[in-house]
Amino acid sequence: MDLGGMVLRALLLKDQLHTKPCKRCGLHYDDRELKCPHCSELGPDALQAMLKGKELEREGNIPMGRVFLLVGIVLAAFVLVGVLAL
Ligand SMILES: [Zn+2]
């Protein structure tokens, strides 16, 4: 077993137990904080700009995942061809 990975996972889980989603911006933050550190300092315009940026970030990640999937399929095909050629 990977002890480091388990510790990291336990820490992440512990972290999640103490977070709540912000009603204003939707980001998670520590529930011991009185106000959201992500958006409490932002005005309505800045909040919109920040959320727009997050949205673009998410959209940008989707094609990246597809690229990795495609690379995985191509690699698997190469391995298969290599095995069949033997
Ligand atoms: Zn917030």
- Using alpha carbons, list the distances in angstroms from residue 62 to 59, 66, 74: 6, 7, 19
26 phi-psi bin (left φ>0, alpha ψ -120 to 50, beta other):
left
Per-residue pLDDT, 15: 65
Sign of CA dihedral 33, 37, 42, 44: negative
Separation CA 26–CA 3 (nearest Å): 33
What pTM did the predictor assign?
A: 0.48
Per-residue pLDDT, 16: 67
Provide mean pLDDT across the span 67-86: 91
Per-residue pLDDT, 47: 94
pLDDT band at 69 (very low <50, low <70, confident <90, very high): very high
The rounded Cα 14 to chain-centroid distance in angstroms is: 17
Residue 10 CA to ligand 1 center (angstroms) comes to: 25
pLDDT in tens, 17-66: 788 999 999 999 998 999 999 999 999 999 999 999 988 887 777 677 78
Residue 18 CA to ligand 1 center (angstroms) comes to: 15
pLDDT band at 1 (very low <50, low <70, confident <90, very high): low
